Amino acid sequence: MSTEPREDLITEVSRKFGISPEDYMLPARHMINLLNPDGSLRSTEEQGAEPGHEYPLPSPAELLRAYEALVVGRRVNDQNSALVRQGRMAVYPSSHGQEACQVAAALCLQDGDWLFPTYRDSVAVMTKGVAPMEVMTSFRGEWHCGYDPKQYQVAPMSTPLTTQLLHAVGVAHAAKLRGENTVVVAMCGDGATSEGDFHEALNFAAVFNLPVIFFVQNNKYAISVPLSHQSVAPSLAHKAVGYGMAGERVDGNDLIALMAVMGRAVRLAREGSGPLMIEAHTYRMQAHTNADDDKRYREDAEVAEWVAKDPVKRMEAYLADSGLLESEATQRITDHAETVAKTLRDGMNQDADTDPLELFNHVYSTPTAQLKEQSALLADELAREEA
């Protein structure tokens, strides 16, 4: 493990971009934004590109692949909301409006890289290659996450805030000790930045120069608590400099900007530049979960303002105007999204074959006396119900 001082590494990286170490670590003065809400490409002057913060456009093939994942993600989000109302899912935290962040987070990674998602990042997990039915298994009330994390290099979607960040740092540290060329993307929301685990994860990653991208989806609310009640920092990305890492702000509803920013961050991390933090400004257009009444803490006008910035419509407009998205491709993508939704719907409409006693099988490698007693009590109750 390298013992090179962090300040020397920062100096080396900043010299690569021809800027001072302070400018390298601080976010660009202007939030990175390449597409206007109407889907038109912003001019170089409008983008306000600064030295060390230039972001070229991804290739047409990359954009079309990302757009298809975006459309599928939106369709699955809406399908899951319907499944909750039908009683086929216990709960679902919709990411309607945040799909661009999740698609970019998954597509920037290569085989062997790891993704550490939150409970709201189902679209990212699907985009990483996990079948939708497997992704949604936990939301129907089953005890396991539904997929093999090692197979997909995707950790279980984490419900406790920020615990996954520490796990992500641990995986990155282990990979570095083994000499593996692994990059880890650790996802969280704005509310998670108020947790102690967030501090510990970023500090450890910076001190040990680990290849971790901390990707904060700032959707303006920690359930019902607005960002203004969580932090008075200039931005969440500005917090990165306090740990000795670079931070960047990006329009979280601009899929092109997200892919460019995430792609560069992953490349730098893989080259040994250390961890980075990215704050994506986005918005969840629906309630926190189906159990939440978002009308109690935000106005309809605020939601309408963000509906006008819809990432799906913005990307569709850009691709159509650029001649990259023809009617046949649009229909193919729409049909594919419907097929995915139907497969998920059909799977969820099948009753799960569950054994309540499985709850005790994987709590401890060697069951405790208390666990054995609880298991026996449940087995007795089940037996009496069947009698």
Domain that holds residue 374: 356-386
Residue 2 lies in a domain: no
Same domain membership, residue 255 and residue 125: yes
Same domain membership, residue 330 and residue 185: yes
Residue 51 lies in a domain: yes
Residue 58: other Cβ atoms inside 10 A: 22
CA-CA-CA-CA dihedral for 243, 248, 252, 254, to nearest 10: -160
Which CA distances in Å does 223 have to 17, 190, 305, 317? 39, 10, 19, 31
Strands (E), the chain: 114-116, 184-189, 212-218, 221-222, 225-226, 246-251, 276-281
Q: For the chain, how many structural domains are there in total?
A: 2
Same domain membership, residue 270 and residue 218: yes
CB 53 within 8 A of CB 276: no
Same domain membership, residue 361 and residue 216: no
What is the residue whose two structure tokens read 């990979």?
175
Same domain membership, residue 250 and residue 350: yes
CB 96 within 8 A of CB 284: yes
Predicted confidence at residue 3, as pLDDT, reads 42
Same domain membership, residue 296 and residue 370: no
Residue 61 lies in a domain: yes
Same domain membership, residue 304 and residue 210: yes
Same domain membership, residue 306 and residue 369: no
Q: What CA–CA distance (Å, rounded) separates 367 from 35?
A: 56
Amino acid at 152: Y
Below-70 pLDDT ranges, the chain: 1-7, 48
Residue 219: other Cβ atoms inside 10 A: 24
pLDDT digits (tens, 9 = 90+) for 190-200: 999 999 999 99
Same domain membership, residue 373 and residue 243: no
Same domain membership, residue 369 and residue 335: no
Residue 131 lies in a domain: yes
Same domain membership, residue 161 and residue 17: yes
Residue 142 burial by Cβ neighbours in a 10 Å radius (0-12, 13-18, 19+):
middle
Element (H, E) at 308: none
Same domain membership, residue 243 and residue 298: yes
